[in-house]
């Protein structure tokens, strides 16, 4: 496994747009999937809010997408979205990718805390977040769904 983050470019843009989090989504074109917004939606969000989008690769294979940044609405550094293509889930890529994103955020923002939100029944994501140290704050954020807020306190 050789997982790394890369810039979103014209060369990988179409692949990112077409990456789906579940096999049921493969033939669908929609803004939201079961637990995540589409990558097209989050690329638009990145443009509007100046968040940082990144492609997630294993060697030369695109396996996922993430975006993060300072959220002016919550006044927090936030992992806005992270997703893996369905064919790469359950193979350790989630944990490896999360660790890379946390390091990327630490380096880019010099932040002390990272927040994210997750839909309450997305158990695989919650398990992955907790595995690297995120914990529920007890807050609920209303976006398109009611989402639970998780927080990671970074070591100095």
What domains are there in the chain, each with its CATH number? 3-153 (3.40.630.30)
- pLDDT value, residue 24: 54
Q: In which element (H, E) is residue 139 found?
A: strand 135-142
pLDDT band with cut points at 50, 70 and 90 for residue 137:
very high
Separation of alpha carbons 58 and 6, rounded Å:
11
Q: Is the pLDDT of residue 82 over 50?
A: yes
Euclidean distance between CA atoms 137 and 48, whole angstroms:
27
Question: What pLDDT, on a 0 to 100 scale, did the predictor assign at position 18?
Answer: 87
Q: What average pLDDT score do residues 73-92 get?
A: 93
Do residues 122 and 136 lie in contact, with contact meaning Cβ atoms separated by under 8 Å?
no
Asked if residue 23 has pLDDT above 80, the reply is no
Give the pLDDT confidence score for residue 38 in this predicted structure: 84
Residue 87 has pLDDT above 50, yes or no: yes
Dist. CA 60–CA 95, nearest whole Å: 19
Distance CA 53, CA 43 (A): 7
pTM of the entire predicted model: 0.89
CA neighbor of 120 nearest in space, from 147, 98, 140: 147
Task: Retrieve residue 95's tokens.
Answer: 């944990």
What H or E segment, with its residue span, contains residue 105?
A: helix 93-109
Q: What does the alpha-carbon distance between residue 68 and residue 102 come to, in Å, rounded to a whole number?
A: 10
DSSP annotation of 133 reads T
Flag whether pLDDT at 30 surpasses 60.
Answer: no
Of 2-16, 22-36, 79-93, the poorest mean pLDDT is in 22-36
> Among residues 109, 43, 111, which one has the least CA distance to residue 80?
43
Tell me the pLDDT of the chain averaged across its residues.
90
CB 62 within 8 A of CB 15: yes
3-state secondary structure of 19: coil
pLDDT band (50, 70, 90) for residue 36: low
């Amino acid at each position: 496994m050789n997982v790394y983050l890369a810039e979103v470019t014209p060369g990988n843009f179409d692949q990112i747009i077409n990456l789906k989090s579940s096999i049921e989504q493969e033939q669908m074109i929609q803004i939201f999937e079961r637990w995540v917004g589409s990558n097209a939606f989050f690329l638009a969000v990145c443009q509007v809010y100046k968040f940082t989008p990144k492609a997630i690769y294993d060697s030369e294979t695109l396996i996922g997408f993430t975006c993060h940044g300072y959220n002016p609405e919550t006044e927090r550094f936030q992992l806005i979205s992270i997703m893996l293509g369905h064919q790469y889930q359950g193979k350790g890529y989630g944990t490896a990718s999360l660790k890379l994103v946390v390091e990327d955020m630490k380096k880019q923002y010099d932040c002390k805390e990272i927040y994210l939100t997750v839909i309450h029944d997305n158990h695989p994501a919650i398990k992955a977040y907790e595995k690297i140290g995120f914990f529920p704050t007890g807050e609920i954020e209303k976006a398109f769904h009611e989402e639970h807020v998780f927080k990671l306190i970074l070591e100095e």
